[in-house]
Each structure stands twice: as C-alpha cells, then as structure tokens.
Chains A and B, each alone.
Chain A
C-alpha cells in the first residue's frame, strides 16, 4: 500500500508541475493515471481528479498572485462566464448526445491549437513592439479595467497589456465551463486559449489567470461529488499533496521560460486532448475505434 501511495504521489507531482507551466488543472494526466495504473472506476478517478485540480489551482494561483502575474480582475470577470457555462452545461447535458459535444469540442480545441502554434513566434515580438498595450479598449474593457502588467523574467522587462474583445472572450470561456460540466474536462486549456488568442492577453498572464480561475470551477463540481458521496479521501490526500508541491515548483519555473516554449508544450497538449475528444466522439457515436484512446 505504501508503494501505491508513493507512486500516486510521484504522478501527482508531475501533473502539478506540468499543469502550472501551461495553466491547466492536470486532470488529463490524473484521470488516466488513476484509471489505468490504479484501476479505479472512471467516475471515482474523475472525482479524485477534480479535488486534486482544486489543490493544484490553489498552490499555482498562490505563487502567481505573489509574483503578480495573475490578473485577479480579469479572472473574476471571466469566472462569471465559466461558472454560468458550467451550470448550463450541467442542465442541458441530459438533452444532448455526448458524442456530438465531444466532436464539437475536439474540433474547437484543434482550431485553437493551430492558432496558438502559429502565434508562438509572434508573441515576444508583439511584447517588444508594445502590441499588447495598444489594443483597442472597448467600453467593457475600460469600465471593468481589464488591463494589467507583469514582470517577464525571460525577457527581463515589464509587460503591460489591455484586453480586447471581452465579449468574444467571455463566450469562449463559457464554453470552457460547459465542457467541464458535460465532459469532465477541466477547461484550463480553453481558458488559456480564450485569453491569449481572443482577448490578446500575453501567454504568461493567461496561464497565471487560468490557474487562478480553475479552482472555482473545480470546487463547484467537487462540492456536488462530495455531497453525493463519490470522493475517496484516501486516494485524494496523496494526490492533492503531490499536485500542490508540483504546482509550486512549476509556477516558480514558468516565468523564466520563453513564451515560445510554453506555447509549444501547450500546442502538443491541445493536439492530444483534441484527438482524445474526437476519438471519444467517434467511438460513442459511430462505434469507430481510433488507436490510442484513453
């Protein structure tokens, strides 16, 4: 039993570290690890993963708020859409076929992966030329002060930015909520893409703000799982401690990396996730089994 706990702990450290670098909860690592390595039933793995996502979000957010990379105001603003999306997702989930949603989300994630990859070299040039500051501020951006700055340790300079397209960004962010309500995906990937690709928030500020937001979305569903009695606290404890340690380490490293590196890791992750969603959709809807489906 001690060995199992130790293994669980190690995987959790890895998931926490990796999740902090790209602003995701790490459920896409934890869920398959629990169900494949420890043979936990999938719903129990998802419940345990959701609690560990809260843990990694708290640890990562704490570090990023300390480093002043997180934009708390932007996070609060987008949480309106993600929590609302999650509620809608849960309410309409029973009416829609899971495979249709899986296919739609798979397609959306592929699209955003490509956008993110194509801008990987542009990001730092845009910072150099002040492109993130000169975004056209609409009424909402001005009224809600959706702007900020952080110190980029890789570029050794302060980076200021101003959000563009808050409405479009909110709509995409609400899809992150719908996705987590329906399909059990954490939604960090979509949050980061919404901020970086749609709202022209620099990658690092998007990662830190996404990390900050994830805890709220995950806590909402964790409460429900907890009340329903689906959380195994013996599994959750080592995983949560591990992801907290990993996230603390990962968030200490992130700001030292160039955004091109972060974006490349993010791209690989999105392609993997998009493929999984589409494979899942094809299996559920058309009984077509693609290789490598977890």
Chain B
C-alpha cells in the first residue's frame, strides 16, 4: 500500500468511525433526555435496581408505549453500551471494503475476544474489564 492509498483509507475509516460514534452519542442523549424529562414531569419513585429491568419484550414495550421513564433510560443505556461494540464490528466491514485484510484480521480478533468475554462473563459471572 503506498502513501496515497493509506491516506485515502485512513480518511474513509475515520469517517465510518465518526458516523457510528455520532449516531450512538446523539441517540443515547436523546433517549436519556426523554427519560429524564418524563421522570421529572410525571414524578413517581425511582424503582429499586431489580425493578428497573424488564422480564420480557412485551413488558418492555408496554412500558415504552405508556411513556414510563425507565423504558427510555434502559433503551438509552443499551444504545450506549452497544455503540463501541458496533464500532468494532462495522470497522471489520469497512477495512474489508478497503481490501485491507491485515486490519480485517486485527479487528476481527478484537471482536472475537469481546464476544468470548461477554459469554464467559455472563456464564461465570466474572468481572470482565
């Protein structure tokens, strides 16, 4: 790969990364703000930790459609956590499009280790950092 190709690729990858991060950030802020505004306008107590979680999709959707703050705060948190993980995953595709297979490999390894950590962490209740 020559100097010029490298510059073009770097620009492309940076743009892809920036778009994912920006989307994740604004979506999270939006969901959190809706949640907090609902919390302060509708009032109500903050549920205990276990009460914040949802037991099923229908549980979640009924909270979402009845504009319960916890549904929006929960969704915002899920969006936030998934943003860096999607950044890694989409970078694999972006490097592939640039035919930079060394970095397809590097990024795929990172994604693979994240998946192992998540599975191992959830199964063994490990504190994966």
Contacts and interface: CB of A to CB of B under 8 A. Distances in A.
Given A87-B116, A220-B114, A58 B129 contact: no
Q: Is the interface of B mostly helix, strand, loop or mixed?
A: helix
Q: Is the interface of A mostly helix, strand, loop or mixed?
A: helix
A83 B74 contact: no
Interface string B1-43: 1000010001001100110011011001100110110011000
B128 A62 contact: no
Contacts of B117: 83, 86-87, 90, 220-221, 224
B87 to A, nearest CB: 7
Q: How large is the interface on B (under 10, 10 to 19, 20 to 34, 35 or more residues)?
A: 35 or more
A57 interface: yes
A178 to B, nearest CB: 8
Contacts, number: 190
Interface residues of A, number: 67
Given A65-B17, A73-B103, A143-B102, A223 B121 contact: yes
Contacts of B73: 233-234, 236-237
A184 B102 contact: no
Nearest to A68: B14
24 contacts: A5-B36, A54-B80, A58-B24, A58-B28, A65-B18, A72-B91, A79-B110, A80-B109, A83-B113, A87-B113, A91-B120, A181-B127, A215-B84, A216-B88, A217-B129, A221-B127, A222-B81, A224-B126, A224-B127, A226-B81, A228-B122, A233-B70, A237-B35, A237-B36
Given A223-B122, A233-B52, 7 more contacts: A73-B10, A86-B117, A87-B128, A145-B1, A224-B121, A233-B35, A238-B32
